Structure 1
Amino acid sequence: MALTVIAGACLEGWRDCGDDVCPTSLTCVEDIKKGIHACVDPDEVNTCGNELVEVGEVCDDGNDKSGDGCSSDCLSAERCGDGVLEATRGEMCDCGADDFHPMDPRCNGKQNGADPSAYCSSNCTKAACGNGMVDDGEKCDTRVTVTTSCVDLRYDFGRPGCTAACDGLSPDPCGDWNWRAQETGTLSDLLSVWGTSNDDIFAVGDDGTIVHHDGQRWQTMESPTSEMLDAVWGSGPDNVFAVGYNGTILRYRSSMTRGSCTGA
């Protein structure tokens, strides 16, 4: 379709159209992307494929085909950053980039990856953690108050926080008043416990069992012995010793290297 743009003075049978004029039989239409005006047949106003990006359109390349950088309905530039969510292209969100502005109200007017609080990341594949909303795939958000009580996490008081990756609740703000049973991850008898802080505690016991607490949970550590271990002590978090039956001595370093020696 050829667009008609005619320059001239105000003559009878003509109307102003931007910096030019149009015959009264045609409609003056503005291209909101290019900022120009053109004369269009009334039947082609607000029609995808007329080569003019009109209100409600994201693009218009003069045809009704998809796959060429503008969808057949002119509502998508077919790329991340065009401000249109396209799940078929693997997008989880799209708040626009460059000349494309956010259309989704959840974007709060911020384009993809504009700052840490932006709703959508720059590659449209994951809504940003910390954007003030709990998005699909997230358990919480660092900028949203957690409503769960620490009591639900087997603590006595407090309100959990959110992990830095928004993938779970953090019990760091929680606390205990008294003794409380904990899951150790092992059925072996534990005979000794020692630690440097509330997020660095070791316990040892039968069959060479060693477990470690990182402030959130107990986890079994690889042990180089099956001998019973009945004591653990260290000079710091990177130098811990465990001793046990048959002269067993194990040493733990923060580099995760371990050694053992046996003797009478």
Structure 2
Amino acid sequence: MPTRHLQHAALLALLASLPGCSNDSPGTTVCGTASCSATDTTTTDASTSTPTTGPALCGNAVVDPGELCDDGDDCDDGVCNLDAYTGKEHCAATCGGLYPNWCGDKAMQAQETCDEGGNTPTCDADCTPVECGDGLLNAPAGEACDDGPANSDAYDDTPDQLACNTTCTGTAPHCGDGICQDTHEDATCVDCTCGDGITSAPETCDDGMTGEPTDTPTCDADCTAVECGDGHHNPTTGEWCDDGNLVDTDECRNNCTTCGDGDLHPGEECDDGNDVDDDACSNACIKPRLVFVTSTLHNGALGGLAGADMQCAAAGMAANPNLPATAWRAWLSDDTGSPSTRFDTTFTGWYQLVDGTPIAKGWSDLTDGNLAAPINLTESAAAPVNPLNAWSNTSPAGTTIGTEHCSKWTNSNLDPDGRLGQVTTTDSAWTDANGMVLNPTVCSAGLHLYCFQNTP
């Protein structure tokens, strides 16, 4: 007991000798802002005087007994024990809990422009408005990257160090971005290679795989859109051929189909599998259209052009009973129309007599002033009766010659007149018999009509 009393007296004397300390209050000694016990109820380490428990440890960055948090005293990053706004979530100065105000708590502080608890389409996580170039990546705002002042739209030839572009939507232009930069890249860059599966200018498509150009139903292997007539034969899109020209009567038609293999393909009217052009199926797989002169004679009162067409339709039943009445047209002109306005002028097949004799190949050949043979057979393949003339008023080019049309083919009187052609000739007289004294002739005369098949 005497020994313990001496030890206690010595501790009190030691505390009293420390600067700023007094033992005026029984059991407690005040040392600055820290409370120190003057009793011997707190055990001290014989080798140090630093307490091991209690509030005196606030600031050591360790949550000790009696503390709710402890971020330490280093405030360089804004996270420390402090009763002030730093923008970061941090412990209060007394280690008794978090300081209530910080960026991300969804409560606007004077130092904040916005606070929505993190990245949103309008607010960055640091409580500032979204801005490309601030160095803060905000995915909800549509940013794919943000390198701050380093953002650039300049071409980058070092793909391992790509900068973010100035819209924060991706990296700066570079080889490998899927776009061929013509001023910087050539075929050595994958972006400029047809067959890589990436559509890049000047390509209009690219369906290639593993670098191999490929034909597909929508894209040619040269990375251009499928088009019949481009000279690229693409079987996957149904092309039988493609000779790259606009000649519809050669080996490859303008719809990229072939003719002469004996099989009927789309776009073909026929395919007889031979190379005889002026037979029942041309080398362009077009059926011939029939021509005849009527076996009956008609005066100038034909009922107009429409009435003349009906006369041809009636006779056409004998030429080909499978054709409709609307398939036939009379080679006749007046002020209301002519073959050049009423016929299929795009026809490129053969015109033939009903016995198969070729007359002309297509509209252009029909109207060049000369026929391959005279139109001298009727609908039943018989020779026509005299007179061997047909009403016409039509030029070799298929146009109206003048006003000699029997009052628009409605008059059968001696006056007025109508112009005619000669059925035995192959020159221009077949449609306009200029050398004949009786051309034009009276509308009361009985003449034949030239009849042409106008549709398939």
**TM-score normalised by the shorter chain: which range applies?**
0.3 to 0.5
Higher relative contact order (CA 8 A, sep 6+): 2
Q: TM-score w.r.t. structure 1 length?
A: 0.33
Q: Rg: which structure is higher?
A: 2
Q: TM-score w.r.t. structure 2 length?
A: 0.22
Higher strand share: 1
